[in-house]
Amino acid sequence: MTVNQILSIKGKDVHSIVSTITVYDALKVMGEKNVGAVLVIEDSLLKGILSERDYARKIVLKNKASKDTFVHEIMETDLITVKPTDDLDFCMGIMSTRRVRHLPVVENNAVLGVISIGDVVKSIIEIQKETIQHLDSYISGTKS
């Protein structure tokens, strides 16, 4: 399964913000959209990502105020992106090695979507279920 197949199932909604808003306002967007991260997009270009983890580590643990801190001060700018043609194993490898939970999907500098660790795990579970069903049918001699 590829990133594009995941996006075709989950949708290509991209929740984004600009870097000049406060972290508090960014958190409100995340809460309203029920997401754990938002992309920072300016002039149609991906500039960064802000996650709940960034908030916890760079605001809460450092005793900063989210209403007084701007997104550009804490957003992650060392971005790891994937292409629509990348496969699940590649994405899982990146997420495991780099310890990230969200991967923006980019092609020709255009953001096409975002996949999360949950999306990848859910897809892998579905693939395994199908494999088990096929093996079960093969062993029992029935066709599905």
Q: Between the CA of residue 128 and those of 92, 93, 115, 121, what are the distances in Å?
A: 15, 18, 19, 11
In DSSP terms, 48 is beta-bridged to 40
The predicted-structure confidence for 45-89, as pLDDT tens digits, reads as follows 999 999 999 999 999 999 999 999 999 999 999 999 999 999 999
Give the model's pLDDT for residue 127.
87
User: Taking the model in full, what pTM does it have?
Assistant: 0.86
Domain containing residue 31:
3-140
Task: CATH number of the domain at 105, please.
Answer: 3.10.580.10
**Considering its fold, how many domains does the chain have in total?**
1
